[in-house]
């Protein structure tokens, strides 16, 4: 046997193993197109849905801090941060997202108040956060959406005062 024949047979064998059956490339392209259509039409929450969620967490944050439920306050501020991250992931095509970093300084200060369990500081920075939300709404042509410190809890099914002491 000629010494080059085994090498030639090896090359033919490798080529035949790697070769796709006729039409396989077209089938793969069709499958990719089909999957792309599914992805393109899958549900993605809009900016308004994220903002409504943030508004609920903003309210719960107030009542948790007011009643010195620091664990819940910590949970709620992290929920707000998570929603802001999701906005950056899912709504980056919206021009409003360029204004989101303005929320970080008051959010960080409020977070620090929660970690320190400081009621007076919490109230001050909660108001600063609320005012920053309104400043962002004004900057993004949504000034009609005014946020305020909640007066009463819409969550009649949740106890915020778990320690039996009222905040001052």
Give yes or no for residue 6 having a pLDDT over 70: no
In a domain, residue 82? The reply is yes
Range of the domain at 83: 47-139
Taking only Cα atoms into account, the Rg of the chain, rounded to an integer number of angstroms, comes to: 28
pLDDT in tens, 72-124: 999 999 999 999 999 999 999 999 999 999 999 999 999 999 999 999 999 99
**CATH no. for residue 116?**
1.20.120.290
In a domain, residue 85? The reply is yes
44: which 2 tokens?
Answer: 């993605």
In a domain, residue 160? The reply is no
What's the pLDDT at 168?
46
In a domain, residue 72? The reply is yes
In a domain, residue 52? The reply is yes
Average pLDDT over residues 123-140: 97
pLDDT in tens, 41-80: 888 889 999 999 999 999 999 999 999 999 999 999 999 9
In a domain, residue 30? The reply is no
CA nearest 107: which of 130, 86, 88?
Answer: 130
In a domain, residue 97? The reply is yes
How many domains does the structure of the chain reveal?
A: 1
The Cα 146–Cα 133 span in angstroms is 8
Confidence of residue 32 (pLDDT cuts 50, 70, 90): confident
Range list of H helices, the chain? 4-18, 24-40, 47-66, 70-90, 104-116, 119-139
In a domain, residue 74? The reply is yes
């Amino acid at each position: 046997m000629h010494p080059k024949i085994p090498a030639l047979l090896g090359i033919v064998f490798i080529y035949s193993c790697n070769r796709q059956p006729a039409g396989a490339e077209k089938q793969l392209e069709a499958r990719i197109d089909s999957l792309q259509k599914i992805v393109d039409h899958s549900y993605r929450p809009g900016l308004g849905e994220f903002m409504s969620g943030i508004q609920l967490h903003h309210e719960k944050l107030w009542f948790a801090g007011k009643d010195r439920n620091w664990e819940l306050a910590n949970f709620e501020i992290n929920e707000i941060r998570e929603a802001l991250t999701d906005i950056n992931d899912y709504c980056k095509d919206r021009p409003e997202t360029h204004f989101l970093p303005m929320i970080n300084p008051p959010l960080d200060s409020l977070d620090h108040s929660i970690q320190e369990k400081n009621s007076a500081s919490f109230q001050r920075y909660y108001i600063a956060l609320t005012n920053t939300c309104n400043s962002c709404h004004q900057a993004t042509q949504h000034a009609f959406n005014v946020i305020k410190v909640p007066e009463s809890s819409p969550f009649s099914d949740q106890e915020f005062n778990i320690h039996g002491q009222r905040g001052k």
